[in-house]
């Protein structure tokens, strides 16, 4: 079974949140806003906020549409863990849904298992493009963990003359 929380070295963590919410589409915007508010102390640029919100949106939407097959059942849960380690945001989006048979294929741009819903198959590609690191762990019948990292606060020194 995929572990939700692993043992951590809390000496490196400066802040963390753990959220659990129903796997319904209305909660996608909640997840985006929660993470954007969480990173506010790092003084992110608008581009960094937008990148993080887009990646979170894609991961949560994938959990709803693919992990839970868009059932809209409030008993289906998504777990979101966020940590700040200095200027690094680490996010996990976890579902206990159907899992992914072939992760490499699922991560190919334009591949989708739900073409009838007019899905573009770009979710993982967007997560990779907007975050600094992406890792996907999944077991059929057990669910999926999407781990993403992004360094926040780059805009404060870009272009400086120091």
Active site residues: 58, 62, 119
The SS3 assignment for 2 reads: coil
Q: Are 53 and 35 in contact (CB under 8 A)?
A: yes
Question: Is beta strand 15-22 parallel, antiparallel or unpaired with respect to 143-151?
Answer: unpaired
H or E, element range at 9 = none
Residues 6+ apart with CB under 8 A from 81: 4, 5, 16, 17, 18, 19, 91, 92, 94
């Amino acid at each position: 079974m995929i572990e939700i929380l692993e043992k951590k070295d809390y000496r490196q963590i400066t802040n963390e949140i753990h959220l659990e919410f129903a796997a319904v589409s209305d909660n996608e915007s909640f997840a985006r806003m929660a993470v954007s508010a969480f990173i506010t102390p790092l003084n992110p640029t608008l581009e960094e906020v937008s990148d993080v919100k887009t990646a979170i949106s894609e991961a949560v939407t994938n959990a709803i549409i693919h992990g839970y097959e868009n059932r809209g059942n409030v008993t289906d849960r998504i777990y979101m863990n966020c940590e700040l380690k200095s200027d690094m945001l680490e996010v996990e989006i976890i579902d206990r849904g159907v899992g992914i048979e072939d992760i490499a294929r699922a991560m190919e741009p334009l591949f989708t298992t739900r073409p009838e819903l007019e899905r573009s198959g770009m979710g993982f590609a967007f997560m990779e493009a907007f975050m600094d690191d992406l890792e996907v762990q999944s077991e059929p019948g057990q669910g999926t963990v999407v781990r993403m990292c992004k360094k926040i606060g780059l805009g404060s020194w870009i272009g400086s003359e120091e």
